[in-house]
Amino acid sequence: MRPPPRAVPGLVVLGIDPGLRATGWGVLALVGSGVTSAEREELTVLGYGAVTTEPVLPLPERLRRICLGLREVIGRWQPAEAAVEEAFVAANKRVAIAMGEARGVALLAAAEAGLPVFGYSASEVKQAVTGYGRGSKEQVQEMLRMQLGLEAAPQPNDASDALATALCHLMRRRTEARLAGAAAISGGRA
From the list 81, 101, 158, 161, the catalytic residue is 158
From the list 81, 85, 101, 161, the catalytic residue is 85
From the list 17, 81, 101, 161, the catalytic residue is 17
- Told to judge if 17 belongs to the known catalytic residues of this protein, a careful annotator would answer yes
Residues 6 or more apart from 85 whose CB is under 8 A from it? 15, 16, 17, 18, 103, 119, 120, 121, 122, 125, 161, 162, 165
3-state secondary structure of 34: coil
- Told to judge if 161 belongs to the known catalytic residues of this protein, a careful annotator would answer no
How crowded is residue 130: how many other Cβ atoms within 10 Å of its Cβ?
19
Q: Which amino acid is at 80?
A: A
- Residue pair 105/67 in contact by the 8 Å Cβ criterion: yes
3-state secondary structure of 102: helix
- DSSP secondary structure, 120-186, as one string: E-HHHHHHHHHSSTT--HHHHHHHHHHHHT-SS--SSHHHHHHHHHHHHHHHHHHHHHHHHHHHHHH
Give the span between the Cα atoms of 190 and 187, in whole angstroms: 7
Q: Hey, which residues are catalytic here?
A: 17, 85, 158
